Amino acid sequence: MVTNRTFTMLKPDSLEKGNTGAILEKINASGFKIVAMKQTQMSRRDAETFYAIHKDRPFFADLVTYMTRGPIVAAILEKENAVEDFRTLIGATNPEDAAEGTIRKMFAKSISENAVHGSDSDENAFIEGSFHFSGREIF
């Protein structure tokens, strides 16, 4: 398994607010190389499958509704120590707790509309990237 890659999604609120370019610029400026990227719309089934780990949590239905309300940008990023470095770049899930200069501090509205997803492990980065991209889409 490649361990210098991670997966991210710019969530519907990022696209609705027109922050796609600014977020991608911050990702590039932080030394990440985009090896796959596309704008797409998650279906209800897609969102339920992608977030299945949370299916028994009280926020699951709201999460699925949020993630299907508009398009997302899915991307696979490459950099040494990609998962950990990207988690640092995006900041805490709750933007109120996120460090200054992080993506969530700059662009997120709330814990439930937090602008961007970042994989939490090398294993999940591979699984999540494979969910959104076929092998021929990754360079």
pLDDT in tens, 66-116: 999 999 999 999 999 999 999 999 999 999 999 999 999 999 999 999 999
Residues marked active site are found at 117
- Tokens 């509704």 map to which residue? 65
50 sits in which H/E element: helix 44-50
User: What does pTM read for this prediction?
Assistant: 0.93
pLDDT in tens, 54-78: 999 999 999 999 999 999 999 999 9
Residue 53 near residue 120, CB atoms below 8 Å = no
Helix (H) or strand (E) holding 125: helix 122-132
Domains in the chain: ranges and CATH: 5-137 (3.30.70.141)
Q: What is the maximal distance between C-alpha atoms in the chain?
A: 39
